[in-house]
Structure 1
């Protein structure tokens, strides 16, 4: 017999300089009856993020706002929220995003999972206020995803619309995290979500995905998630190596992780080469390439791809390039409920 799904959820919001959006995020989380706690970690903001978050309190006693005096990164902020919360289920909400009404009820109606995520609607910032009326209704079509499928879904391909399922924002069972000693890797400022979910899947987590849409990701040109440092790429491929070294994986899972590690490492090598060129000159960059022959294919391939980008056929644009059209785009391809099933 399947154990009952606990209904006490903690929504975790890590915020840095999010005074313009944090109220909407907090209000959407507090509007969910299943949210027993909403924990906001102000991660060293230089604006009024903490005060604005507190002002969005609904008086129910569920909101807890904590401020870090210095920025420690989203992984550290989320880990602190996990430690001070008491709920059995944990969910992450980015400070510039929001939840559609009924999102938690929809997720909690499913059984048989340790992690469960729904579809994400990418919405232009100018359209966020009226987004709910524009969202399609999708059949849930629940499915479990394994480590291989998750890893493959996070290897982006040039010219293809971004669909990395590491962007998904699942609810997580605290019991599973505690059982396996899992928390966010605080050395990561890029891919910290991907890394946690990959490590959980390597430990046997049941990760269920439904195609119903309950999460709104607001697309802004100045979003912190849209930029990263070169060193962040290095730390991410090193995290892949740690998963490979610390787990007994199937041949398919090991091969998928090695592909992802190589994919991120290639991006790092190209970025590192370009950094050297811009900061220390072309001769220094060429010297690095010649003394690191293993990096040459990534460097040459990346430069060639960039030079020929405009000659390749255009494909569906990335969610980060909505361009203010008002269109709503979804992370997961799905069939609207009012469309005929094939």
Structure 2
């Protein structure tokens, strides 16, 4: 861990509430506890189905985020998928409304999505390259709506994937929310640097993360964009519990997807994920996320992302039963020691 200095600032860490795991009221309670515990905000993903049948939940993210905003003071971040279940204009409207309710407290993350959620509307599920193209065109539609609506103007769009007739967002905050994109590779990260406000990347090997971070920065430089208007984020999963054995047991039981050896973006049913996850071993999990009862192990893990140069971390403790204890431990023994 870098030594504290006058130039050090607290690491910005947000608490991920997995709506697959918790009923809406429980999600709101956890967000309120994390807010009091020192987390910078709450992150929620818009899902239609859980990954596993045993998780048993998949509430509507925008409704839950509205309730979370009422019970917290930090950021309320939505990870949304534009272009399948929801047209980009609808995502823009939901995000603008949340920003109007909670000025300067909302951020929007855009994702290319997973078939398990998006195939339900019966559209053709495209290959990864086409999903990326759709993602950036959707971001363009949302950006147009934010920009024009903030000025009281209409806008329109006609592109390969989406059409938008002359329209505006009638409920619009004074300034649009920060808009980031999930980046799975250097091309996506670089393009995001040229056109969007930031990236979110899945935690992984340091070399891969450094490559994505540098690609984003290169894109930003190519477009002549200021670093002050962007944010880079790592989405990090871990398993903390009172004992190491419990930490491993909950990871295997509650979030075995972390140990899958292949992407799961094309899987369509929670029951299929459940079958595939039965092959996941403790070694698979241990190779991908930290499993420990020791807060110092997790502090070191989270600090490594700030040391690489990322601005923030979204952290998800994968256990269902240990969330309250984790929030308390993190607030007391981890968050105060993280610097960037």
TM over 0.5: no
**Normalising to structure 1: TM-score of the pair?**
0.26
Rg larger for = 1
**Normalising to structure 2: TM-score of the pair?**
0.26
